[in-house]
A and B are shown apart, each in its own frame.
Chain A
Amino acid sequence: MRLSLTESALKKLKTVVLQEGQLPRIDADVAGGCGMTVAFSLVFDEERRNDFILELNGIRIRMDRFTQRYIGEEIQIDFTEEKGFLVADAFSSSACSIDIV
């Protein structure tokens, strides 16, 4: 898995003040119903039992096993003032039963 941070994301992450025990996390958000959509976000929260840590440019980022299962091989984290942190992998596709964005 290759993780990259855009310049704006790195700059922002370096300035974020974290509470004790918190780290940035790439997290899979699932939305269901008749189909299923998996999207990824960057949140700041506490450790989960099966987390592993990615480290890049001095920034430590958590991910749980579920997220690892669904995320692609190449992940980029961006930051904009309007939308906050954006997590995307190199792939995007759609199918009727599961839609990974």
Chain B
Amino acid sequence: MVEYNELIFEISRSGRIGSSLPESDVPKVNLQNKLPDHLIRTELAELPEVSELQLVRHYTALSNKNHGIDNGFYPLGSCTMKYNPKINEDVARLEGFSRIHPYQPVETVQGALKLLHELQEDLAEITGMDAVTLQPSAGAQGEWAGLMMVKAYHKQKGEKRTKVLVPDSAHGTNPASATVAGFRTVTIPSNGDGLVDLEELKKHVDDDTAALMLTNPNTLGLFEKEIIEIAKVVHGAGGLLYYDGANANAILGKTTPGKMGFDIVHLNLHKTFTTPHGGGGPGAGPVGVKKKLIPYLPVPRIEKQNDQYFLNDNQPLSIGRVKGYYGNFGILVRAYTYIRTMGPVGLRQVSESAVLHANYLRKKLEPYFDSPFSQVCKHEFVLSGSRQKKLGVRTLDMAKRLLDFGCHPPTIYFPLNVEECLMIEPTETESKETIDAFAEVMIQIAKEVEGNPDIVLDAPHTTTIGRLDEVQAARKPVVRHSKEKTEEGKAESVKS
């Protein structure tokens, strides 16, 4: 049986076509008269030549090898791999949203602008901020935009602050974003309870501190109980408080970053607000700010006057435009749909269920794994594979074994302050049966580590491809396809 395991280039045959075009009914144009020489190909592009059926089978087979939330359980901590309701897709495909053009005059896209304006207001209410920009096209870009606003704010005050403080339990992107924005990152260690060590924080906060970036609850799934005091310390030194919304799923409708004292918030719509995890595709990382930072928001801002929506570029202190047009509009429509579908009561129930699910699963697994912070958690929790490490099996081995049961592994080896870490976030959208089944699999693996470790060490066994040679992949990566072909016309596999 043909399994379509080859590359699309390997099933290519010279002259094979997927669809036929009718004879051209317009005059031919000589490209050499229209384009400079360096823009004209001298040889054909190496495109695969396949039939439509081969194409469909190839990509269907490829998609079946992937794992997504529509395939199975996906407890990737801090990534909030919750179900994306299909109604989001239905609404995003409505012609009034999907077939408008960003260059249309604003008077012809009032409905789209109304949606964006309402989404800004919804997110401002949810986060306790005074204004929101929807422009950033990903969480990390939202972080960067937020930090550029931090920089602009201090500059306007005549200060040049160079330091951004990031706790070791913060969302992993924070140090990178601070560095890209031109700041120096200082790591603040956690205390024995897994929370920000307030005394350590005080040692590092000074008049060079531009901001503290905090994830609350943090990546250990623990709520920073001293947040009001933390805010006081940072604000007292003239710094700003930045909230990373990676874990906003835990606080929806219960509290807001605004109430905690934060000045800036970014949200990952693909986490909390059920837009697709793009894998590099279109995303959105809206940023909310308190009043004092509104002048620095990216332009154009979407505003409303006399029941008309318009784009306002008149913000002299703005950090400028950070994304073309209105941001990733289709993604924003999906998030808006989710918020309106759930309503305030539904959103509150999201965080309550997410927290309940995490604690239920935590209690089931704690007898079998080390639990460095055994206390009531928020939407996620961490376990340690230290016990298993002593038996010669690592967390990575157990993560591979989970694949045999159709589960995506949790986030592993992060945060860095937990040895052999497993960060587990079941989310609110999973049923009790699924969570129970996952717990049973984890318990089985823990027992295998004790009684039959080889089955874990050699996992996975049931996937299309077994344990990869990751060392070889890292040291001698094969990332380019050779254009050489064999005698049968079949493309050679990659050699370089």
Bound: A98/B476 CA distance, A? 12
Q: B474 to A31, Cβ gap below 8 A?
A: no
Bound: A63/B1 CA distance, A? 43
Interface size of A as a range: 20 to 34
Q: A32 to B411, Cβ gap below 8 A?
A: yes
Bound: A91/B416 CA distance, A? 25
Kindly supply a per-residue 1/0 record for chain B positions 376-405, scoring 1 wherever the CB is within 8 Å of any chain A CB and 0 otherwise. Answer: 000000000000011111111100000000
Q: A48 to B172, Cβ gap below 8 A?
A: no
Would you call B295 an interface residue if the criterion is a C-beta within 8 Å of the partner chain's C-beta atoms?
no
Contact of A30 among B172, B390, B413 (CB under 8 A): B413
Q: A98 to B470, Cβ gap below 8 A?
A: yes
Bound: A28/B414 CA distance, A? 15
Q: A66 to B396, Cβ gap below 8 A?
A: yes
Which B residues touch A51, using CB under 8 A? Answer: 392
Contact A33 to B389, CB < 8 A, known contacts A69-B471, A70-B470: no
**Looking across the interface, which residue of chain A has its beta carbon closest to that of B399?**
A32
Would you call B475 an interface residue if the criterion is a C-beta within 8 Å of the partner chain's C-beta atoms?
yes
Q: B172 to A49, Cβ gap below 8 A?
A: no
Q: B390 to A95, Cβ gap below 8 A?
A: no
Bound: A36/B172 CA distance, A? 12
Bound: A84/B85 CA distance, A? 53
Q: A100 to B475, Cβ gap below 8 A?
A: yes
Kindly supply a per-residue 1/0 record for chain B positions 147-159, scoring 1 wherever the CB is within 8 Å of any chain A CB and 0 otherwise. Answer: 0000000000000
Contact A32 to B397, CB < 8 A, known contacts A51-B392, A98-B473: no
Which A residues touch B172, using CB under 8 A? Answer: 33-34
Which A residues touch B473, using CB under 8 A? Answer: 95, 97-98
- A interface secondary structure, majority: loop
Contact of A48 among B392, B413, B470, B471 (CB under 8 A): B392
Would you call B109 an interface residue if the criterion is a C-beta within 8 Å of the partner chain's C-beta atoms?
no
Would you call B412 an interface residue if the criterion is a C-beta within 8 Å of the partner chain's C-beta atoms?
yes
Bound: A98/B389 CA distance, A? 20
Tally chain B residues at the interface, Cβ within 8 Å: 27
**Looking across the interface, which residue of chain B has its beta carbon closest to that of A92?**
B475
Q: A98 to B474, Cβ gap below 8 A?
A: yes
Which A residues touch B411, using CB under 8 A? Answer: 32-33
Kindly supply a per-residue 1/0 record for chain A positions 17-42, scoring 1 wherever the CB is within 8 Å of any chain B CB and 0 otherwise. Answer: 00000000000101111101000000
Bound: A31/B473 CA distance, A? 18
Contact of A50 among B392, B413, B477 (CB under 8 A): B392
Which A residues touch B420, using CB under 8 A? Answer: 30
Would you call B424 an interface residue if the criterion is a C-beta within 8 Å of the partner chain's C-beta atoms?
no
Which A residues touch B372, using CB under 8 A? Answer: none
Interface hub of A33, A72, A93, A100 (most chain B Cβ within 10 A): A33
Interface hub of A32, A50, A99 (most chain B Cβ within 10 A): A32
13 examples of A-B residue contacts, CB within 8 angstroms: A30-B413, A31-B414, A32-B412, A33-B172, A34-B172, A50-B453, A65-B392, A66-B457, A72-B471, A72-B475, A93-B477, A97-B470, A99-B474
Task: In the A-B complex, list the 5 residue pairs whose CB atoms are closest, starting with the nearest.
Answer: A32-B413, A50-B392, A33-B172, A49-B392, A33-B414
Supply 15 further A-B pairs (C-beta < 8 A) apart from A33-B414, A48-B391.
Answer: A30-B396, A30-B412, A30-B413, A32-B421, A33-B413, A34-B172, A48-B390, A48-B392, A64-B392, A65-B392, A66-B397, A66-B457, A72-B475, A91-B475, A97-B473
Which residues on B are within 8 Å of A, measured CB to CB? 172-173, 389-397, 411-414, 416, 420-421, 453, 457, 470-471, 473-477
Which residues on A are within 8 Å of B, measured CB to CB? 28, 30-34, 36, 46, 48-51, 64-66, 69-70, 72, 91, 93-95, 97-100
